[in-house]
Amino acid sequence: MQIYNGLHEICKPFHEPALVIGNFDGVHLGHQALFQKVVEVAGDGDKLALTFEPHPMVFLRPERGLKRISTLEHKIEMIQRAGIGHLIILPFNKELADTTAEDFVRHVLCEKIGVKHLVVGYDYAFGKGRQGDIPFLEQKGAEYGFSVHVVEPVLVHHMVVSSTKVRELVARGEMRLVYDLLGRYYQIRGEVRHGQRRGGRLLGYPTANLHLEEDYLSPASGVYAVQVICLSSCFWGVLNIGTNPTFNGQTVLAEVHLLDFDGELYGKQIKVNLVEKLRDERKFDSVDALRMQIGRDIEKARVILSQEPGLGKGCVEGIMP
């Protein structure tokens, strides 16, 4: 997939391009339906997606503290897997925020991209004041010669699939429902850094301490059965997200114990697929009581992961198959 970090990197016209525009945070089933429509209507033409960095709400409403479902790297991987051949990443800044829908259609979609087929979601709107709604696009399509294809909402368990709903479920630790909305496991990524070294020294269960970016959506505090992808291999594991109340911790940490692993991970990038929440985090009366509970957590995780379809057959990269 060819990536363009701004319109200035587009050096030549696209061939009969079909385009979808969006933030695509998480690339959930609703987004995937949009990409499928692009592939369908493009035919022999180029298949394009246009997204923004950072998320527009981070720029427009920073006080909300919007958390990212997937890193930009992960989002790019998933969009490529969806069959998109060209990804345009526009920096979202004041200039873009002040661009009217009319100017965006004329100068970006038509003059720069040469759009022939535009795919949008049922609730899509863009431009200053969100004036560029679907009737506006249909009118401009007739004027400039491009078709507009509206994709209806995707429903799962009577819920409309959306990034907002995914964030809500992740924040509650409902990873099975998150899987159903994403079409894959929720995945966190980060670099393994030095921690307090309590896992191995005090508890007998060494952990990899995962550093997550501040704008990354962290799941609810608790203990999870997970699959860990690192060193070109996959391992079962148990992840704890929380403050370690038994040790009176204050900072939220993500610590993962890899089952049947003996090696060094410091400084390595790892990926963790969250399969199922095992329990809430809680404070134990003693280190021995915590150690015994971790042992029970590991045994429960082994049972869950051994029965999980596909996990026993190799890595699940957290992206669409």
Active site residues: 255
Dihedral over Cα of 32, 38, 41, 42: its sign: negative
What does the radius of gyration of the chain's CA atoms come to, in whole angstroms?
22
Q: Is residue 73 classed as helix, strand or coil in its secondary structure?
A: helix
As beta bridge partners, residue 188 has: 272
Cis peptide upstream of residue 219 (ω within 30 degrees of 0):
no
CB atoms within 10 A of CB 63: 5
CA angle 230, 77, 153 (to 5 degrees): 125
Short-list 258, 250, 243, CA closest to 192? 258
What is the β-pairing status of strands 233-242 and 253-258? antiparallel
Question: Is-contact 55 149, C-beta < 8 A?
Answer: no
* Rounded Cα gap, residues 147 and 112, in angstroms: 17
